[in-house]
Amino acid sequence: MVMLRLTAEQYCKLPVMVKEETCIGKTYIITGGNSGLGLETARHLVAASAECVVLAVRNLEAGEVAKNDIEKTTGRKEVVQIRHVDMSTYASVQSFVTKITAELDRIDGFICNAGVMLDTWSQSEGMETSIFVNVINTVFLGALMMPKLQESATKFNIKPTLVFIVSVLGYIAKSEMDKSRNGVIFDGLNDQKRANMDQRYALTKLVEECAVRQLAALCPVERTGVVINMVAPGLCSTGLGHDARTFNKIMHEALRAMMARTAEEGSRTILHGLVAGEDSHGKLLSGCKIKEFWVPTWLTNQEGQKLQRGIWDELVFRLESVQPGCISQLK
């Protein structure tokens, strides 16, 4: 059902929900901001009079190219800043957070956009790479940014937004998730013999959504002043999947040719996430609307809640071992 809904939504015209009044004087950070959805989101924010837009990128040279492109198309200079972060290592995320939180006085929106789509097995920090990048280190980054976002909320009387990019493709990965339900979940996810790498990206987005829902529950906006939501941009023409095998590349390109949004159109869903407000806290957004009714019952029922708590508890244990207090300080 959700795939039928997604297909229908692909053809809906999406509004641009930011303008000068919503962005002037504000600071935003976008990981993976040098291409695709991140680049187009940044372009919109700069055009809408944001004071500072930070592109957090792995490749600094590509970041500079993106910066120049944004400046050329918007006519605004000295707005975009480039910072380095490599989502494949804990240390890079820790270093990025330490530096950026010291440099910036305020943060109005943080978009966890960087991710990978891999269909061959590799590991980062001892974990299958796409699970590590799309789930573990993305949640780590979001958690480490929370104190600064909370500080901004208090100091400037604002409600900053922490946006995670997810995908409703995750809902087709139930059978893959079921392989790792029993026992230590992340050990199962890190078992090459169990993994169907053709469904790995969808699985990472399901696990990420489970974790973010628990993070949002741990950090109610009434206490933190920070809105945490999840945006599913739909199928978009971006560079995602450029490292996939040839067959999968052909399949993805065929789908994109038939029904994909442009990266600019997809970025409008992320802009909505930034302005959706408290009503969106802990919820799924798609097509510039809250779409909690898209979430399948097997994820919301008792067993689904048990799965979410299991994922979260294991993730907390891992992250606390890397940086003690990174999650416990949020309670």
| CA 103 to chain centroid | 23
Catalytic pick from 67, 148, 205, 291? 205
Is 90 one of the catalytic residues?
Answer: no
CA 106 to CA 113: how far, in whole Å? 20
Gap between the Cα atoms of 297 and 186, Å rounded? 23
DSSP helix/strand/coil, 50: strand
Other CB atoms closer than 10 Å to residue 31's CB: what's the count?
Answer: 26
pTM of the model: 0.93
- The DSSP code for 136 is I
Contacts of residue 166, defined as CB under 8 A and 6 or more positions apart, other chains included, come to 205, 208, 209, 212, 230, 231, 232, 284
Report angle CA 75, 111, 63 to the nearest 5 degrees: 50
205 catalytic per annotation: yes
Q: Alpha-carbon distance 107 to 105, whole Å?
A: 7
Domain ranges of the chain: 2-330
The three-point CA angle 217-308-267 to 5° equals: 70
Q: DSSP readout, 84-124?
A: E--TT-HHHHHHHHHHHHHH-S--SEEEE-------S--EE
Q: Distances from the Cα of 269 to the Cαs of 37, 183, 213, 274, 317, in angstroms?
A: 10, 37, 19, 9, 32
Q: Is 201 one of the annotated active-site residues of the chain?
A: yes
- Averages of pLDDT over each 10 residues, the chain, 331 residues: 68 90 97 96 98 98 98 98 98 98 98 95 98 98 98 98 96 95 94 95 97 98 98 78 51 52 93 98 97 96 97 98 97 85
Q: Which of 35, 67, 201, 291 is catalytic?
A: 201
Among 1.20.1050.10, 3.40.50.970, 3.30.530.20, 3.40.50.720, name the CATH number for the domain at 2-330.
3.40.50.720
Catalytic residue among 49, 130, 167, 180: 167
Q: What is the pLDDT of residue 234?
A: 86
